[in-house]
Structure 1
Amino acid sequence: MPTDRTQDRKVVNMTQFASSARFQPIKEVEAYWQAIRAGRLVPRRSDIDPRGIERALEFAFVAERIATGLGRLRIAGSHLTDLLGMEVRGMPLTAFFATNSRPVITDTLEQVFADPALAEITLTGERGIGKPALDGRMILLPLKSDLGDISRVLGCLVTSGSVGRAPRRFEITDTRVTPLLGDARLPDPVTQDPAPRVPSGLAEAPATFDPGPRPYLRVVRREDAE
């Protein structure tokens, strides 16, 4: 008699799987940031190579701190342009948020710069005519400028659902901020060690001072000198 093995089978929730796959660019950007961080407190803006996040470029952005809690987009992927229906470079990051959520993103962004910290934000799109359900996630990762101050952020904004009629703005439903202080394993070369870091496998042993052989000393008697 055939045995019913239905209960032995693992049931996979395809909705959760699809959602996880949709938000994969968030994980890729964070993994890349951690890699270029290389144990330092915060990586530099100049460390970023777009080829390192090629599959997530349309969702990625770089913002510059221009005031307390206010960031202006310097670089933005095409998905961000689609969400607002216009070119977004030069616009404040708050442009993507509903009025009641702007104080939240302002406070969160300031923590990212000041602590510094990593921030993960869960979003839901505002509804309306031509604006279907739209969920989103955003990650904010601090960067140092060429001057050494933490005034840049590498971000990624991914949505799940049809964009519909632009502009699409979001309400914040959850935020998770993780301070980075105490998380770094190595000194930050920008602030503590201005010398360039090299991979440990290529590092040379530090040179030691060798005064060389001591000079020959001869006692000179006074009558010989005269």
Structure 2
Amino acid sequence: MSECQDDDARSHLPLVDRTGQILHLADFNPTQPARILNDLRAYWDSLRRGRAVPARSDIQPQGIRRALDYAFILERIAPGAARFRLAGQHLIDLMGMEVRGMAFCSLANGSSRGRLSDVLESVFRAPQLAQMTLHAKAEYARPELSARMLLLPLTSDLGDVTRALGCIIAEGQIGVAPRRFDLIGDEVMPILEGGKTLAPSPSAFDQDRLSGGRQGTPIRPIASMDRPEKRDASAEARRAGFRVITLPQATLPTGTTKTP
């Protein structure tokens, strides 16, 4: 009995190499960014069930327990623009506030928002997956931060790709919030291995505007919209454009006389 207890106790001790250094197994680190991102993508893949993109309604919190604090849901509201519908505690800590309803681009510094929007739009339009590398510079009371983010497309109840499951993991001390990042690297990936990807580009915005978005009537360029012709500023030209309108005379009842 005692030998069994000793074996059981030794099985729970950390591994020690010949130099006496304690070795930690990466598999037992629940906050390892790569593991969490891989788990979220595997969960997303499991929901497809033969479809190109799973539905927003398929996402269940118990299915992403490990990534729940780092996950968020986006809703596309315009070309290259989305807002947070739900967000985990990690993102709330990074921004120092509740982010529900906030714009997705609020995560980035101004110089990176254009590229961030391009990558986001390509996720919805292709659709495809995107992984980004983010960095926040060290400032007063704000240590340097590195982060990784993953975006996975989802369909809405109407069947269009206007939702996304995301995950962001920052490594380091957050410091004083809000923390905003520079986008220093991005990669788009096809849904099916070997498939084609759509390169993030600002041209997608013009194409979406001219086609009226993903649905709807085409939007005409501003230059072709009906506008009143520019008139001559002279008084004669203005008078020439006036018309005299004669109002019909009211008919008086029979037997009545009109008084001056």
- Which of 108, 130, 143 is the aligned partner of 2:141? 130
Q: Provide the rounded CA distance (Å) in 1 between the counterparts of 2:149 and 2:179.
A: 14
Shift in Å, 1:182: 8.0
* Counterpart in the other structure of 1:48: 59
Q: Deviations over 1:65-89 (max 9, x none)?
A: 0000101000000111100101100
* Counterpart in the other structure of 2:79: 68
Q: What letter matches 1:111 in structure 2? A: S
Q: Deviations over 1:60-111 (max 9, x none)?
A: 0000000001010000001111001011000011011011110011000000
Could you tell me which runs of 5 or more consecutive residues in structure 1 were left unpaired when the two chains were aligned: 1-8, 185-226
Residue 98 (str. 1) matches residue 103 (str. 2): no
Shift in Å, 1:27: 1.5
* Counterpart in the other structure of 1:178: 189
Count of residue correspondences: 175
Contact 2:80 2:121 in 1 (8 A): yes
Contact 1:98 1:126 in 2 (8 A): no
- Which of 149, 157, 160 is the aligned partner of 2:168? 157
* Counterpart in the other structure of 2:249: none
Query: Secondary structure, in 3 states, of the residue corresponding to 1:55?
Result: coil
Q: What letter matches 1:112 in structure 2? A: V
Query: Secondary structure, in 3 states, of the residue corresponding to 1:43?
Result: coil
Residue correspondence of structure 1 range 73-92 to structure 2 within 5 A: 73-92=84-103
Alignment root-mean-square deviation, CA: 2.6
Tell me the TM-score normalised to structure 1 length.
0.71
Q: Provide the rounded CA distance (Å) in 2 between the counterparts of 1:28 and 1:22.
A: 10
Give the number of the structure whose alpha-carbon radius of gyration is greater: 2
Shift in Å, 1:138: 0.2
* Counterpart in the other structure of 2:151: 140
Q: Whose RCO is larger (CA < 8 A, sep 6+)?
A: 1
* Counterpart in the other structure of 1:109: 120
Q: Provide the rounded CA distance (Å) in 1 between the counterparts of 2:107 and 2:121.
A: 17
Return closer, same or farther for 1:183/1:72 CA change in 2, 3 Å cut-off.
Answer: farther
Q: Provide the rounded CA distance (Å) in 2 between the counterparts of 1:80 and 1:57.
A: 11
Could you tell me which runs of 5 or more consecutive residues in structure 2 were left unpaired when the two chains were aligned: 1-18, 196-260
Q: What letter matches 1:47 in structure 2? A: D
Q: Provide the rounded CA distance (Å) in 1 between the counterparts of 2:176 and 2:38.
A: 28
Tell me the TM-score normalised to structure 2 length.
0.62
Q: What letter matches 1:149 in structure 2? A: D
Shift in Å, 1:181: 6.7
* Counterpart in the other structure of 1:21: 32
Contact 1:41 1:183 in 2 (8 A): no
Contact 2:33 2:148 in 1 (8 A): no
